[in-house]
Structure 1
Amino acid sequence: MSAPQTSNPLRPTACPGLLRIVRALDGGICRVKLTGGAISARQAVVVADAAERHAGGVIEATNRANLQIRGIGSEQSALIDSLLAADLGPRNAASDDVRNLMLSPAAGIDRQRLIDTRPLAGQILATLQGDERFHDLSAKFAVQLDGGEALAMLEHPHDLWLSTFAREGELRLAFGLAGCPTEAPAGSVALEDGHALVVAVLELFLELARPEQTRMRHLLAEQTLENLRVRLSERVSIQAVTDWRRIADPGVLHIGAHSQSETGLAYVGAVPPLGRLDPATLRGAAQLAETFGDGTLRLTPWQSLLLPNIPEEHCVQVIQRLEQLGLLCHADQALTRMIACTGSNGCGKSSAETKGDALQLAALLHRHGLALSVHLSGCPRSCAAAHTAPATLLAVAPGHYDLYFRDAAQAGFGTLHARNLTIEAVAALLDARSRSPFDA
């Protein structure tokens, strides 16, 4: 792939991209946006090589199913060129920011799926990159496409979400604005109108939003949902949805081996501790995908990875090999449920070294036999988690955190439960809470 044209300057934003390296305390950050979270084994090796040769060797799985390379020094051009040569970049420089379309990591192979979302996703991504009007969207403006899979992240808010459902023998796409698929839909469209709906929503947003209104929630703060729905219905046929909600599967389906829709095949999910991979681990996972699977990896919004299309008789061996690489493949391991931002070692805004504190907390919870979903954030921005975790630790000083519990009635992290706790105190409190018969 040749380098994208750069006649249009890259927009100023704090969000890293492949072509825009953003500085942090530990060096530059490059974000590699993956189509549907998928990357070939060959491309994964290129990412590993780039991180090793041109950066600090730290690779992160993000909560939008992408990859980041950290610690980039002076060799930015060499790193970018190597990634572009592996076809890991946008069609043109102006479209890198807008490739924010999230699918299920099991798109096309999930046993519960109603449709394979990948063809429609390809149409949407081609439009986002090819239509210059949409290059004006914020680098954070995001779309989610859900095919009814059991493995689906349903807690991350998106500017536009689409979710497949069946009604009277017809498959349709429910949709919503500035929210999650588990919320009440704004309406639905025929499956064949999915692409037209996305275009209509983006066009309407750009027509109505002022420059400072970069997200759909900003527009909805002064425009009613009903008004937007009426305006959209002038462009695409919309029906009301009153008797359907997307229901989340309570299983931990991104970890371990799970059967696919095709008999005899499974995907295997593995979690890099705290979302971080080193080059050797990524290369090793890529080799396993080549040897036992179809030569691809899929990143997930849980900051983990899947190896799809593994013959079921090889799953035990693949899990053993992944564990030898340092990846976690069992949901009862405390560290599989832990989320932590970069922390003060790499970010000047962080009040604590969250990665190290998370490792300490995971070890303490493991002693108590607990595997709880906990998010450690070094500052209120919550960069590591796009959703509200059941328990959030907000750093107030090195090694000290305020503890919040998720509460649907409270915005942000939820309800403040205790202040200025050490990691040991947090572990003791979470242990006591888990044993309480009054704990909801």
Structure 2
Amino acid sequence: MPPTSPTPVNRDEAPLRAAVRPEPRAAVRESPRAAVRSEPRAAVRESPRVPLRERGDACPGALRLHAADDGRLARLRLPAGLLTLRQAEAPADAAERLGDGHLDLTSRGNVQLRGLDESCGAELAGLLHDAGLLPSETHERVRNIVASPLAGLDERPSADVQSWAAELDGLLCASARAAALSGRFLFALDDGRGDVAALGADVTLLARRDGSVVVRTGANRSGPRVAPEDAPRAALLAAETFLTLAEASGSGAWRVRELPAEDGRGLDAAVRAGLADAGIATEYVTEAPAQDIGPEREGEPPIPGPVRSPDGTVALSVHARLGRLSVAQWRLLAATANGPLRVTPWRGVIVPGVAPAAAGGVLDRLRTAGLITDPGSPWYGVGACTGRPGCAKALADVRSDATAAVSHAVAHAVSHGSGGLPVHWSGCARRCGHPRGRWVDVVATGEGRYDISVQGQGDLPSTTTTGPELADAVAAARMTPMTR
């Protein structure tokens, strides 16, 4: 339950700028970075616990390469998924010259390179630095920021989450404290449509129709609302407050959801206290207003296809098969765009600025190149981890098995489940990269054997073999009624 001292906000209140901004705080606001770093005045529980884990965070980055069975792996953080056309050439060059010729899109809107030689670190860092993709060597793994991919590109009124992302990225890189965040800590900047708000981020900024922004921590649907110009500072302060609580508790938590229950409840109050100390005006919102997000819309990603933009151009939403793009496919997307590419947390790319008259022909070329451009594609909603031979923990070549299942369904005119639940193929029980919400979980239990279940509703798994039987079972599971 949220603390009871503040009065809950009525949905019909006047915009926050007029309603809650205090007059005597001007001197504090002139020094925002100092204010953000002030310690929260809420009491921090000092109760040492057994740490959740014995080792440090080994999450890969652009400088810390992970040793996989198919070579080194690099993960490039792209705040809000944004890449200028010049920047987009850098990962393509790196994949072509140093890696396996492919780019993997992650569930956080980042890009991974695989098959790298262990001696390529300096050359890779140089490529990324020259492209402006490595603004801080000490903070490069903590720049995990997702934002609503269609913000400003469709006809829905939206907050400027792209600007928030740029400011938050700068604040993160300037904060010595933030360098201690785990490479798994996630910020989500939602323009009010509820897409990235459903991704389970550690700190979420959720825009409201009245122009204010709700600051959520973890799974908490309540939180203080702030003015939009204060939102990036509030997000950083929330992350730094989490670090204070995690360190004081001795829990070793990397994510908000890993905090002990009493510290998780205390985080919300500590953030509000810290905002007040930083001169950031707030009022408390007890839950997400129904007028902003309906439960039937929360978490809905951009579907493949054209999107009409306010400036008269068309943005193209394109997905990658199993989240992988060849260098040629990536360069084709960049050549099509008239503005920065936006990599989405659903392993897709938004290509902006296409002339309406040319959009149909461009989509045809992208489809011919093997990209998903239509929600009716048999590949839409199908995801997979790396599997064998790239991952030592994998029990099967899940990408090949997923491809065989889709090909079987197409060849035999079997309903492949498009338009139904998403499906994710995992090489082991870790389920790396699985989607949120309800999804068909296909987990390898050994070579040629998988457990299939529908996550999110508690169905018992059924075990089957590879081949036609597996393909039919997956297709049937995807058509499970989508009830909530």
Higher RCO, 1 vs 2 (CA within 8 Å, ≥6 residues apart): 2
Quickly say closer, same or farther: Cα 1:431–1:189, change in 2 above 3 A: same
Separation (CA, whole Å) in 2 of partners of 1:84 and 1:318? 32
Q: List aligned pairs for 1:170-185, cutoff 5 A.
A: 170-179=210-219, 184-185=221-222
Q: 2:326 aligns with which of 278, 285, 295?
A: 278
Q: Name the stretch that deviates more: 332-341 or 420-429.
A: 420-429
Paired residue secondary structure (2:218): strand
Separation (CA, whole Å) in 2 of partners of 1:18 and 1:33? 8
Separation (CA, whole Å) in 2 of partners of 1:220 and 1:196? 25
Identity score, percent: 28
Deviation at 1:407, TM superposition (A): 2.3
Corresponding residue number in structure 1 for 2:62 = 18
Deviation at 1:37, TM superposition (A): 0.5
Q: Tell me if the contact between 2:168 and 2:233 (Cα under 8 Å) persists in the aligned partners.
A: no
Corresponding residue number in structure 1 for 2:273 = 234
Corresponding residue number in structure 2 for 1:369 = 415
2:308 aligned with 1:259 = yes
Deviation at 1:186, TM superposition (A): 3.2
Quickly say closer, same or farther: Cα 1:202–1:21, change in 2 above 3 A: same
The residue type paired with residue 165 of structure 1 is: R
Q: Tell me if the contact between 1:58 and 1:71 (Cα under 8 Å) persists in the aligned partners.
A: no
Q: Tell me if the contact between 2:322 and 2:382 (Cα under 8 Å) persists in the aligned partners.
A: yes
Q: Please give the per-residue CA displacement for 1:317-353, whole angstroms capped at 9, x wherever unaligned.
A: 1101212322121111121210100001100011111
Corresponding residue number in structure 2 for 1:49 = 93
Q: Name the stretch that deviates more: 185-194 or 265-274.
A: 185-194
Q: Which protein is bigger by CA-based radius of gyration? A: 2
Corresponding residue number in structure 1 for 2:263 = 223
Q: Please give the per-residue CA displacement for 1:385-423, whole angstroms capped at 9, x wherever unaligned.
A: 252552110110122111111225xxxxx5333124435
Paired residue secondary structure (1:402): strand
Q: Tell me if the contact between 1:111 and 1:149 (Cα under 8 Å) persists in the aligned partners.
A: no
Deviation at 1:58, TM superposition (A): 2.2
Quickly say closer, same or farther: Cα 1:118–1:431, change in 2 above 3 A: closer
Corresponding residue number in structure 1 for 2:199 = 156
Q: Please give the per-residue CA displacement for 1:272-325, whole angstroms capped at 9, x wherever unaligned.
A: 211111112212221122xxx23x221111111111122222110110121232
Paired residue secondary structure (2:317): strand
Q: 1:99 aligns with which of 122, 139, 143?
A: 143
The residue type paired with residue 254 of structure 2 is: T
Separation (CA, whole Å) in 2 of partners of 1:157 and 1:259? 29
Q: 2:347 aligns with which of 303, 307, 326?
A: 303
Corresponding residue number in structure 2 for 1:3 = none
The residue type paired with residue 344 of structure 1 is: R
Deviation at 1:33, TM superposition (A): 1.3
User: What runs of 5+ residues in structure 2 fail to find an aligned partner?
Assistant: 1-54, 276-281
User: What runs of 5+ residues in structure 1 fail to find an aligned partner?
Assistant: 1-10, 409-413
Separation (CA, whole Å) in 1 of partners of 2:481 and 2:82? 43
Separation (CA, whole Å) in 2 of partners of 1:395 and 1:110? 39
Paired residue secondary structure (1:157): coil
Separation (CA, whole Å) in 2 of partners of 1:72 and 1:323? 29
Taking structure 2 as the reference length, the TM-score comes to 0.79
Deviation at 1:81, TM superposition (A): 1.3
The residue type paired with residue 261 of structure 2 is: A
Taking structure 1 as the reference length, the TM-score comes to 0.86
Q: Please give the per-residue CA displacement for 1:115-138, whole angstroms capped at 9, x wherever unaligned.
A: 111222222111111110110011
Quickly say closer, same or farther: Cα 1:204–1:316, change in 2 above 3 A: same
CA RMSD, aligned part only? Answer: 2.5
Q: List aligned pairs for 1:394-433, cutoff 5 A.
A: 394-408=443-457, 414-432=458-476
